[in-house]
Amino acid sequence: MAIRNGIYTKLSLIVVILLFFLIIQVVGIFAMYDESKRSALQSSWHEMENLATLIASQMDPDALAEIKEGDENTTRYKKMIADLWEMQNKHSDIRFVYTLTRKGDKLAFLTDSEYGHNDFTEPLIGYIYEDAPPEAFAGFEKVSLRKTYYSDEWGTYMSAFAPIKNSTGYTVAIVGVDISQEVIENRMRSVVNTGYLILIATTIISLLLIMLIIYGIRIISSYQKKLEKSEHDIQMALDIAEEGIWEYDMREDSLHIGGGFWKSLGRDNPGWDHSISIDKVFSYIHPDDLEKFKAMIQDIRNESGPDRIMSPIRFRAKDGTYRWLRVTGKVVSWEGNVPLKGMGTTVDITDIRQYQEDIERMYEKLIIFDSITRHDIANKNSIISLASEELALSEPGSDEQKKWLSEIMKASDGISAQIRFASSYQSLGSGKPRWKDIDEIITSLMEEEHQQVISIINECQGLFLYADPLINRALYNLFENTLRHAGLDTTYIRFWYRIEDGTCILSIEDDGRGVPESRKEDIFKRGVGENTGLGLYLIREILRITGLTIRETGEFGQGARFEITAKSGLFRVEQQS
């Protein structure tokens, strides 16, 4: 969508620029109209001045000075007329070429290029030019130009006049050059028409470009809709498969992440167009997986790195738990040998990992259970066999017979205890770990095993541990073990917790005799204890399922203290209302 909007914006901008250019061009053409008219007019003025000067330089001033009325039919006069006629024909824009001389305060004709042509045969020499413009009189001094139209009996013209001087510098006559209004207007019209043609041509080209761009927008829109539909279908398929797409821009060091990723974490989807900094992504990763993820990013950035990366990474969900996501990707864009962009997918594999961990726990449990069962039952069976042989040899009713019967019963009780242990142990890990309310569990234990003599202190309100469901059994066994071994001087059992460096430590302590330093680890071993020797061993096994640990940290003679440790992510504390 963002790409399409970007294309539309650019194309629309081009259309606006073309329209703006077209408007400027129209305004420019109209502005050029007046300028073109002035330019064409000035060109005509310069041409008339130049022609008048040129023709004046080619005239014979002495011959003109000797002309008198009645010379129209002389050979020399006719030659002068012929020369003027030739000059006029050389310059097609000239309508009339003629010479004038002073006659009192008037101007009179001497020669005219039209004389003898176009039925012009009336006497010319001395003919008074009644409508002579002021510029004609000024022409006796210097080249003079009539810059506006004027009309006489022969038409409407603009004229230029140039002096014809003899060798002494005296002006004997002037040359007049007339260009008709029609010729000048045609020149200006031609220039304007050229401007109109340019305007029409550029307008047509601009409109064609605009139409082409609009057509291109429609084509792009059509393909973009198809592309968006394909992307939507792909995204739907990925959503169904619970996969997320990511794109890593190595120049910006940021990512665009699809909805599947955010859905897996239960977080709000900021949208594909929203860029996420790599540091923000780092903040979601489990501390134990952060270095591994950074190494993956470095592998992508490294031009000699692997073609494809894939690794399971834990990301923190909105509820504070961690979800396992399989991150897969590869480099998809290069600049030379330098990678620019990586793309890949994320798949939520939390359930798969849980199943794997369950299987691993079950396998480990089977190994331990097999070892315990074979070893202990074999030992007890050996005792029964030996005792049975001795029993057969002993006298009925004798003390020896009673002794061996007692041994057989003890071995039988041991096998029964072992079977009871196996019954409890086979349920380890059979239920999925969940958040357990420790305050609720302790309260329940207090109701079942309440002792009037010993005070039970519960300071675990709001504490939850992520543990196997059998943690109830573990805390019950620990509670029972404390009651059994505390001693007559014990006055209280206290349940409390503290948070240190992001780790929760749940303490169960009393003011009894405590545990000697030399036995603090031995008490958690199988076979150590006054009964079956399985209590604390079983407790440790239950807690170990979800990564919880237990140890004894009390001071002998001052009381026992059992500390259950839960790392970050395995505990939470809720405010009590």
Top mean-pLDDT range of 148-157, 219-228, 242-251, 556-565: 556-565
> What are 110-118's contacts with CB under 8 Å, separation 24+?
110/64, 110/67, 110/173, 111/64, 111/67, 111/77, 111/80, 111/81, 111/84, 112/81, 112/84, 113/81, 113/84, 113/85, 113/87, 113/88, 114/85, 115/72, 115/81, 116/78, 116/81, 117/85
Is residue 369's pLDDT more than 70?
no
Cβ proximity of 210 and 19 under 8 Å:
yes
Give the CATH H-level superfamily of domain 434-573.
Histidine kinase-like ATPase, C-terminal domain (3.30.565.10)
| Percent of the chain with pLDDT strictly greater than 70 | 79
Res. 301: pLDDT tops 90: no
pLDDT confidence band for 463 (50 / 70 / 90)? very high
How many whole angstroms separate alpha carbon 480 and alpha carbon 109? 149
pLDDT of residue 374: 59
What gap in Å lies between CA 521 and CA 528, rounded to an integer? 10
Same fold, 60-182 and 242-348: yes
- Calpha distance 245→413 (Å, rounded): 61
C-alpha angle 129-135-138 in degrees, rounded to nearest 5: 100
Which residues does residue 561 pair with via DSSP β-bridges, in sequence order?
Answer: 509
pLDDT greater than 80 at residue 27: no
Q: Quick one: 242-348 is in which CATH superfamily?
A: PAS domain (3.30.450.20)
Q: Which fold has domain 60-182?
A: Beta-Lactamase (3.30.450)
> Mean pLDDT highest for which of 160-164, 265-269, 270-274, 346-350?
160-164
Q: What share of the chain in percent tops pLDDT 90?
A: 13
pLDDT tens across 115-139, in order?
877 666 677 888 888 888 888 899 8
Domain boundaries, the chain: 2-35+187-235, 60-182, 242-348, 355-425, 434-573
Give the pLDDT confidence score for residue 255 in this predicted structure.
86
Q: Is it the case that residue 187 has pLDDT exceeding 70?
A: yes
As a whole number of Å, the CA-based R_g of the chain is: 58
Judge whether residue 175 has pLDDT over 90: yes
Q: In terms of Cα–Cα distance, which of 306, 307, 256 is closest to 280?
A: 256
What distances in angstroms separate CA 446 from CA 443, 455, 476, 490, 542, one per listed residue?
5, 10, 10, 16, 21
**pLDDT tens by residue, 485-509:** 766 678 888 999 999 999 999 999 9
Query: What mean pLDDT comes out for the span 221-233?
Result: 71
What pLDDT sits at residue 459? Answer: 93
**Predicted local distance difference test score (pLDDT) of residue 393:** 75
Q: State yes or no: pLDDT of 455 exceeds 90.
A: no
Q: What does the pLDDT read at residue 571?
A: 92
Least trusted range by pLDDT, from 38-47, 334-343, 529-538, 539-548: 529-538
Q: How far apart are CA 280 and CA 329, in angstroms?
A: 19
What pLDDT, on a 0 to 100 scale, did the predictor assign at position 373? 59
Question: Where residue 532 falls among pLDDT bands split at 50, 70, 90?
Answer: very low
Task: Give me the chain's average pLDDT, please.
Answer: 79
Backbone angles phi, psi at 332, to 5 degrees: -120, -10
Q: Per mean pLDDT, which of 72-76, 89-93, 198-202, 209-213 is the most reliable?
A: 72-76
pLDDT score at 28: 65
pLDDT at 462: 93
Q: What is the Cα–Cα distance from 473 to 273, expressed in whole angstroms?
A: 51
The pLDDT value given to residue 304: 61
Encode burial over 6-35: b for 16+ CB neighbours within 10 A, e otherwise.
eeeeeeeeeeeebeeebeebeeebeebeee
The pLDDT of residue 99? 92
pLDDT in tens, 233-279: 666 655 555 567 888 888 888 888 877 788 888 888 887 778 888 88
**pLDDT on residue 533:** 44
Choice between 357 and 119, residue whose per-residue pLDDT is larger: 357
pLDDT tops 50 at residue 36: yes
- Check whether 395 has a pLDDT greater than 90: no
8 pLDDT above the threshold of 50: yes
Average pLDDT over residues 463-476: 84
**Which of the residue ranges 172-186, 291-305, 368-382 has the most confident prediction, judged by mean pLDDT?**
172-186
Location of structure tokens 């097609």: 92
Label residue 171 by pLDDT band (50, 70, 90): very high
**Confidence at residue 435, expressed as pLDDT on a 0 to 100 scale:** 92
